[in-house]
Every structure is written in C-alpha cells, then in structure tokens.
Structure 1
C-alpha cells in the first residue's frame, strides 16, 4: 500500500468514527484529522512501518489509534481528567474494531496499563472494568455513561481521577439486568443446585440442551451468571488472611500504611460493627513472608490501631447473581 493509499484508508476510518460519534454519542469530531491533530501528528500515526508486516494485528492497532484520536478530538477541552480520556478513548477504539481484531487492541491496552491505578481506597484497572459495560448493562450503556460524564463537564463540573473512579463504580452498581422467563428459571435452578449439567437443566425446564447451553453462555457474557472454583489456598502455596483494623481514636486512614504493601490483595472500609477497615492479604507460604505479616500486625498496634489477623481457609462460590435492582431498591 502506497503512502497516498494509506492516507485515503486512514481518512475513511476517521470519517467512520465521526459518524459513530455523532449518531451514537452525540459528539462532534473535526472533519479533517489534520485540522484536529496537525499534519505532523497525523503523518506519524500513519507511519508506513506499521504496514510492513501486512498482518491483521498491525491493521487493528492502526485502526484503533485513528479511532482513539478521533474520539479525543470530540471531547470538551477542559473538565475531564487524563485517566478518563485515556480509558474511554481506548474503549471507543476497541468498539470500532471488528470482533476478530479486538483481542489485539485489548492485549495492548492491558500491557500499556501495566498494574492499573490506585484510587484513594480501591484498585482500578480500566482494561478489565470498562470493556464489559455493554455486556453487563446492555447495548448503549457505555455511550450513556460517557454522555453523563461529558454533560457534567460541560456544566462546569471538574472531573478528577478520584471523582471519575468513584462515579464509575457507583454507576455500575446501579445497573439492573432484566431476565426473560427462561433465563430466570435457569438462574433459579443453578442457585438451587438441582441441575448438575446442561442436559439435566434442559430436561427440567423443558428446553433443548443446545438452547440451555446458549442461554447460559449469554448470561455469563453479561456477567449475570459467573462461576468460580473453590480454591484451597494451601494447595497453591498461598495463604490468605483477613486483616481487620480499628482506628480507635486515630484520625489516620489505615490505607495510607497499607497501599504499598506487597501482600495487599484488597482493601475496603467497614460501615458497621467494631472494625473500621478490612484488608485481605495474599502471602506466599514461606517462613520469611509469614514473619513479615506478623511484623505488619505489630506495627499497626504500635501506630495506635487495634487489629486482628485471621487466616482464610478457602474462598469462592459456585454461582453469583449480584445485580442491584433500582426499582425494588435491593440486590437480587
């Protein structure tokens, strides 16, 4: 492909992205990529070296880069944090690719994101959280959340990183996932444990095994139905501990002392009861690591906190159906 052919192809991709942004997202990107990015930046994106291999992966990455830049050019010039712009532009680019091309882009996104980002009290990895929004909440949900955030920015609300992650977490928890009659029966059967395989499940519901399998796959894709294997941690050389923390009279946030701990698996505040925070620790099953864990507990006592370390023998659940229904005001 010559330079001129490559540029023509790039312009086609840009115009296609503009149409999607206008029709599905109510956003307007400049008609010309050169006017949006500048001639030098546009030529750099169309680097012919990406095409020397001529493989599908290179083509997907280049298409994604063009889509990402087109998306960024459609956003308000202020009020949005860099993390939001980067995360949502990556997801828009992923959605613009063909299904067979998306894994290449997602792999690159995951690699670039490295270890994710720390919110004030939680770990956030956009490449895991954002691509599943439409699967969980239904088509158009990603666009809806995007419009909500952009409308707030246009109204003068400045979106910092903590605000972005906090809003996204709360917004996703408000999603309800309606089920049809067959899906509801499948979930009930699986939760009751009365169906051990697809054939038994299909027979009890009066449907074909193929239809039951397809429905289960759809529920899993929408993250309504999930399966976890129960793991005895001792068999994989890992020991897990619940580390309960009571701040007593301290005004310090315990997370400050734990956020760089290599054993920290998760952290959450506790709203009721004696304890103020719960940290889950994942520790290699060796003498040195266990001794370090004992030191951590001792240091927290020294800093004026009360704490309790309790080992977790195993963890997991067979099925999970944990969507919040805003109409009923409860978890179902």
Structure 2
C-alpha cells in the first residue's frame, strides 16, 4: 500500500511535534511544507530529514501528490487556509482551536460538507489511548451517573508581543489555547452543556490570561476548570460518578494512565453523645499518626489502569485521518465537526463575559 502523504502548513513548535510524531507510523510521510517564509519551510524540512516540496500555502494546496494537509498556523488564519484546502479538494486537519469563533467553525464545517471533503479538528488528546479507555468506561457506566468533572491546564509563559498566545488578534488567550482541552474532553464525555459561565482575567482589558470555567448539564452534572497562561497548574482531570471516581494522570493533554477509586455514599448514624471510642479517635496521637500514614495510604489507593502511548502521541490523530479518508468517510466519529462547532460556541459564550 502506498504511503499517506501529508502537506504541512506552518513551521512552529506544534508543527514540529506533529511531524516528528509521524515517525511512529510507517504508512505516513511528509511530502510538502508551506510557510510565509520559503527559507523557514526549507529549514523545517531539512530538520525533519525529509525530501519535501516547499512553497506557499496555495502552492502546497494545489499539489496532486498530497493526500491531506495539516494546518498548524496561528488560529486567526485557520479558516481562510482550511477553506482554501477544501476548495482544492484536500482533506484537512486543523489544529486547535479549530477557528476564532463559532461562526468561522460553522463556515468550515459547511464548506467541507458541501464539497464532500474530509475535515477534522486536531484535538489530539481525544485519540490518546488513556482518553479512549476513559470514554469506553464512562459509556459502559462503570463510573455510574457522572456528577462532576474537575480539572486544570496552566503553563506559565513569558508574556511577549511576539508570542501569539498573548495576542488577541491572532487567537491568543487562555480560553482558546488552554480551555479548549478540558472543554473538548467534557463535550466528548457528556455532550454539549446547557449552562456556561466563566470568570476571565484580562491583561489591560485585552487577551484573557486566566479563566475559571463552569459548565452544567441538565441540572445533574457540573464541570469546573481552571486555565492559565500565567500560572503553573496541576494539568489534571478527574471525573466523579455515583459508583467511582476516575483520575487522568497529568498532563491532561497527553495522559498515559488512569486511576479508579470506588465510591460509596456515606450513611451517617444518628448523633450520639461522645463516648470512650470518640475520645481515643480524636486524640492528638491518633491524628498525628494519621498524618504520617495518609500519604502512604493515598499512594496505594485505587486501581491503576495503564494506557501507554506510542511515540509522542501526536500520530494517533494522523492515523484517524488516514483511515477515514481511505475509508471514504467525510468526518471522524471521535472528533466530529458538529462538536468542533459546539466547542467554539462555548468559547464564544465565555469570551463574551
């Protein structure tokens, strides 16, 4: 079978990660690289040690020997570049955030469907083996009724005008860059929420550098996420249900194992006057011992489920694209376009606050 041939738009950090991740797949190859600077495109291809055609975005989109294009440019050009690729009948994988807003996301979705072209958001975390295992366990009811999601994603960055994360016009901000991860996972597990709220910290009234996000589903389930560009956070995710609680090991964007803790409602007996057992139980000696033992007990608690990934884990989404395209599919069941639009609708509501 001939290899699946990729064109890459952009030569930044994430583009490099994706390109190096393809090394875990034998059925894929990079044949073209595009950048605003031809010199950067050539240097990028040379760094990857691949023989690739280098040119403008339009030139690469027009190549006959490209099966799919991965767009890893700043978010403010995702829509125009995706539409260009779709018009050229090229399957396209668009880096997150999918677009700048829901209207743009819907424009991409409509164009892909109208032209019969495969299109998918590059939310690589959904394809991670640990997340796939988590999804299967939630769908099978192993956690019971899902009641609460809690998580965070924050990495402290040095504010800079040259860093698009701090540039609102280029699609920067904590919600667009960090928040889409836990939001996407929440939508994947529970569907589109009914309630959206957030508190955003904006630098000089512009880009959001930090946010506290709350989502709700039919008065039964809530999610609370903290995201930041200016603070280091645990970068975790926990899902609490009526039967069990599950934790994804950090980092939230690339976990390698799950921990499952059995849950059982606490039934309290009627209050009684303190007795001899209470005096012993509440003594300073027992509580001091408890403080020493608790870390050891916690470390051994729960069931660990390993879900180790191959390579750097960026390649799972690439393989999804190949299988879908060669199977004649226009969308991924794991990352459908309708959910990319729904995620951007949530982002829009948060950024409006």
TM-score by length of 2: 0.22
CA radius of gyration, larger in: 1
Higher RCO, Cα 8 Å, sep 6+: 2
Larger helix fraction of residues:
1
Higher strand share: 2
Q: What TM-score, normalized to structure 1?
A: 0.23
